[in-house]
Each structure stands twice: as structure tokens, then as C-alpha cells.
Amino acid sequence: MRPRSLSGILFTLLAAAVLSACTSSSPPKVGAVPGASEYGGRFVYPLRTEPATLNFVTASDQPADLVSRLVGDSLVDRDVDLNVVPRLAESWEFSGAGRVLTFHLRPGVRFHDGHPLTSADVKYTYERVIDPKNHALGRLDGFLPVESLETPDDRTVRVVYRFPYAPALSAWEMPILPRHLYEKEDFLTSRFNRAPIGSGPFRFVSWEPGRRIVLASNPDYWGGRPYVDTLELQFIPTQETTLMALLAGEIDYASLTPVQWDAYTRDPAFTRRFATVSYLSLFFYYIAWRADGSNPFFSDPEVRRAMALALDREEYVRAVLHGLGQVSSSLFHPAILPADPESRPLRHDPQAAAALLDHAGWRLDPETGLRRKNGAPFRFTLLIFSGGEDHAQFSQVAQESLRRLGIDMRIERLDWPALWARLQKGDFEAALSGTVPAGDPDDVVYGMLHSSQIRGGRNYAGFHDPEIDAWLEEGRRAIDPQARSACYRRIAKRVEELQPYTYLFFPKVLAALSRRVTGVAPSPRGLIVQYPGVIRLKIRQQPGG
């Protein structure tokens, strides 16, 4: 897959998202004009970047994921509130003390070419993921703990895990490939990678490079024919053009910046034509403090706590994001794990930060105004991503807050492949980055915190804490949801104390949606990345709507 920038991730996420519980103008009304057919119409949706491939297994960028979920069909999916819901699997059950997961497939499901979908296709898709030749890096995680996969009959898939594996279902959000078609072709260069055939609610129609991908509703979809006839995904590379295309009526959805949000939500001419929506996305920003002793600052948890107290995250959200964001009070998005009422998140407190730094031995040198310890000045470099203005803005605000405390923070801007390489090697002191968890509390958190992930994984901070390691493992094996939640609450609390990463904030996704569009439900993952979501979307068949 292509290297993707952080802002790319964020932008696609922004673009992938529609409607929220916290709409600021009245949400679009469900229901069409009386007498008019509820079916029909075209929904035009902008994508900032183009997918590299539409192979469900090797696809790892967000536009490809979006298309895969529409053309393909997975065993399970997540609903508006991120609960796991059935899709191709009618039902499933855990047995064998949580080691065996059995799926029962829906009867009579067919691929778009008419060929029936069976458990053999599920097995085939799984085997393509674990075949190293296919480099399906993003899909591998949930399948590596699988010991064996059996298909006792056409409609049953039995997955045996090497140990009880609580996050197991997440991996099965993977769309199922048609074995009968791929088997005859080279997997990585197959023509179906650019013209996919699945069993999902939309059929693939065309992909015009640099221009658009067109999908048409699948009238035979087992879950019912989608209301919209045509779904057009247009590639519009810039944010400004996307917004103007919405204003010109060429597309039905556009994300907005906080400044645009402020301007347009007050404009009655705009709100007459468009519903404005905002919600908290799963994407969050964090700073990783390299805590492996390679620098004299951040292996000390007191210093890391002082940094968290020094950063004025609230002020940043208020002034720069125009209040359109939320300072993280835990490492979990509220939709993934509701905030712990007993937690006391660190808030901006420069005096407490100064006291902690003094206590840690970093004393202010009155001559230079810098803190020093054993003669060494408190001077470090924060790596940031060069492609996002928000990254630069936040780091400048942070730089000023730290300067007042006698800390000299330099900022180094890198493009995403370069930043990624430095993070991967641990070749940094502090780095500002961001990520999107998928829905299970284990996701992202295990990778960022478990000590096994320091080399080769995503534990960029080089953080190692035996207690957190043990709880992360417990969280993976605990099948009981209550015990699991308790486990992740403990992790959240200890991370708040130790601050290997300082979680900054969740920016709100801000968007405008044509009032022609009705019937959509909100989700933290967006309009399309949820189920049934876009199947229920309707276009009002009345001119001037």
C-alpha cells in the first residue's frame, strides 16, 4: 500500500464521516416526498486520495477500506455505537474457554457474479492474509493468534485460537474475497484488484484513475436493496475545492475547517441548503516521550508528568480549534471505553509542573533562564509531521508554554515516511503524532504500550512497565466484558500516572451534508465505516431539495 501521511489519515477520516449526536443545526429529516419512490438517486462523496488497490486483503489505505466495505461483505461489522453486529455471519459463539470461535453464515448469499458465497471463501480469504507473500500487514494482527481454521460445512467456519483471544471479532470485519475468481489469477496483480467483485450492498461499476470510483446498488443484496442507486466517490485532492464543489452542488458532502465552520454555520443561506454536523472522531493526537534512557529527560516519569502539566491543551482546543475538540481525559475514546468517573486526568498547571521539575533535579539557571541538571540544559527536539498545519500550530503553542518553564524545545518538521523512519528506529527525544483506533480497547493501545512492541512494533516511546504488560495480556484473554473493562481502566489510570505518551486531544470532525440526503445515522467512524449505515441513506427525489 502507499505510504500515507497522518494528515491523510485524518483527512480521509474527516471525509469518511457524517452526522453526529451533536449536530448544531437541525438534522436532515428522514422520509421522502409523499408518493415519490424511496429508491433512486446518486450520492456523490469526495475522497482526498485515491486507493492503491481494491483487493480486500492487501488494501490498507482508508479510501480502499471504504470501497471494500461497500463492495465486499464481512462476517461481522460495527454499528453506529461501535458494537459488533452480524453481517455475513448470522450468529457466532465462543466455546472451549474462549479459544474456539464458530461462525454460522447466512444462507443464500451470492457474489455479484451470481456465484454462491460459502465457508470456503472465508477460509481462502484468511489464507491470503496470513500468506507473507501478500504483505497484508494491516490485517495480520488479528489472525496471527489463529491456530487453525476449519470449515465443517458450507455455512460453518470454526476458528481455533492458540489462547483465549477476546479481540478476535475485530479481525473478522474483513470483507470476503471470491475464491473462484482469484484462484485463477496472480493474487497481487489480478484484474479484480482494480475491479473488485464482492457480495456487498454495492456493485463495482468503474474506476477512472484520478477521477472517480462509481458503485451501483446491488438489487439482490441479502440485507435489502440500498436506497441510493449510484454511489460516486470523487477524488478531489484539496480541501478548498471540496468545499466549493459542495457549494456548487457537484458533491453531497464536505469536511470543514474550524474557521470555515464558524463562518458557514452562521450563514442562513448555507444552513438552508446544508446540514452541518460535528462529532468526536476516533483520531487523537499524542506526544511520545522517548523513555528508554537514550536522552537525559524522559526516562523519568516525574519529568513526563511535568510535561503533561505544562502543556496547555485546553487553551489550544479553545483558541486554535475554536473549541471544536476535546482534551483527552483517558487513552480511550469515550465510545470505546466510557471515561472512568474516578479518574483524575492531569490538567494544565505550570506551577505543579515547575515543582515536579525542581524535584526531579531540573533547576532553573537564572543566568540563561534554562533548567539544568548536572550541567546539562533541558533542551530537546520535538519531531512533527510537516503536512498538517494543526501539528505545527500545536507544537508552537507547546513550545511557548515550555519556554516559560525554562525548557527549550526545538521543532523539526518531517514528511511522513521520514517521521515514520525516525519513530521506528527510536531516533528521537519527543514526537508529535496521531492515530486512529479501530473499535476494540486492545487496538492501538497494546501496540503503543506493550514492551514486546518496542522493537519492530508501535511502542515508539520505548516504554516498559511490567504491570501494564501483564494487564494488556489479561485484557486480551479476558472474555468477560466486565473484567475486560476493569482491566483497561487500570491501564488507563497507570498510563495517566506514568505518561509515556501524553494524549493531547480528539479534534471534532466538522462537515456539511446536502439536505437532499436523509436517513443517515451518526458513528465515530463515519457514515460509510459502520453498518448498515450507507445502505439506509436516501436521496430526496425533489428538485431544489
357 vs 414 by CB, closer to another protein: 414
Identity (one letter) of the amino acid at 295?
Answer: N
The cell for 406 is 525554562
Pairing of strands 363-365, 325-327: unpaired
How many Å apart are CA 150 and CA 491, to the nearest integer? Answer: 35
Give the Å distances, CA to CA, from 107 to 87, 156, 200, 222, 272.
12, 11, 15, 9, 45
Among the listed residues 117, 402, 438, 534, the single contact to another protein using CB under 8 A: 438
Examine residue 359 and tell whether it contacts another protein (CB under 8 A).
no
How many Å apart are CA 456 and CA 384, to the nearest integer? Answer: 21
Q: Using the rule CB under 8 A, give the single segment among 23-31, 135-143, 461-469, 471-479 that binds another protein.
A: 135-143
171 vs 321 by CB, closer to another protein: 171
Among the listed residues 16, 57, 61, 155, the single contact to another protein using CB under 8 A: 61
Among the listed residues 37, 95, 189, 343, the single contact to another protein using CB under 8 A: 189
Identity (one letter) of the amino acid at 458?
Answer: R
Among the listed residues 6, 398, 449, 492, the single contact to another protein using CB under 8 A: 6
Among the listed residues 84, 85, 120, 140, the single contact to another protein using CB under 8 A: 140
Burial of 90 (0-12, 13-18, 19+ CB in 10 A): middle
For residue 383, what is the enclosing H or E element?
A: strand 379-385
Among the listed residues 338, 455, 467, 542, the single contact to another protein using CB under 8 A: 455
| Smallest separation (angstroms) from another protein to the CB of 457 | 3
Q: Which residues contact 426 (CB under 8 A, 6 or more apart)?
A: 290, 292, 294, 454, 460, 462
Examine residue 355 and tell whether it contacts another protein (CB under 8 A).
no
| Smallest separation (angstroms) from another protein to the CB of 250 | 6
Residue with cell 421522502: 32
Taking CB under 8 A as the criterion, which residues in 219-278 touch another protein? 234-238, 240-241, 244-245, 247-248, 250
Helix (H, G, I), strand (E, B) or coil at 93: strand
Residue 102's DSSP bridge partners are 93, 158
How many Å apart are CA 485 and CA 290, to the nearest integer? Answer: 28
| Smallest separation (angstroms) from another protein to the CB of 323 | 27
Examine residue 85 and tell whether it contacts another protein (CB under 8 A).
no
Among the listed residues 60, 68, 328, 514, the single contact to another protein using CB under 8 A: 60
334 vs 457 by CB, closer to another protein: 457
Q: Using the rule CB under 8 A, give the single segment among 66-74, 93-101, 136-144, 324-332 that binds another protein.
A: 136-144
Among the listed residues 106, 333, 458, 515, the single contact to another protein using CB under 8 A: 458
Examine residue 389 and tell whether it contacts another protein (CB under 8 A).
no
How many Å apart are CA 17 and CA 195, to the nearest integer? Answer: 25
Helix (H, G, I), strand (E, B) or coil at 495: helix
Among the listed residues 209, 268, 375, 543, the single contact to another protein using CB under 8 A: 209
Put the strands of the sheet holding 202-208 in their side by side order: 42-47, 230-235, 212-217, 202-208
Strands (DSSP E) found in 16-73: 42-47
Q: Using the rule CB under 8 A, give the single segment among 307-315, 436-444, 493-501, 532-540 that binds another protein.
A: 436-444
135 vs 347 by CB, closer to another protein: 135
Among the listed residues 9, 88, 197, 277, the single contact to another protein using CB under 8 A: 9
Q: Using the rule CB under 8 A, give the single segment among 15-23, 91-99, 120-128, 411-419 that binds another protein.
A: 411-419
Q: Which residues contact 19 (CB under 8 A, 6 or more apart)?
A: 27, 275, 277, 279, 513, 520, 521, 522, 527
Helix (H, G, I), strand (E, B) or coil at 453: helix
276 vs 518 by CB, closer to another protein: 276
What residues make contact with another protein under the rule CB under 8 A?
Answer: 1-6, 8-9, 49-50, 52-53, 59-61, 130, 132-133, 135-138, 140-141, 144, 188-189, 193-194, 208-212, 234-238, 240-241, 244-245, 247-248, 250, 415-418, 420-421, 424, 435-438, 443-444, 446-447, 452-458
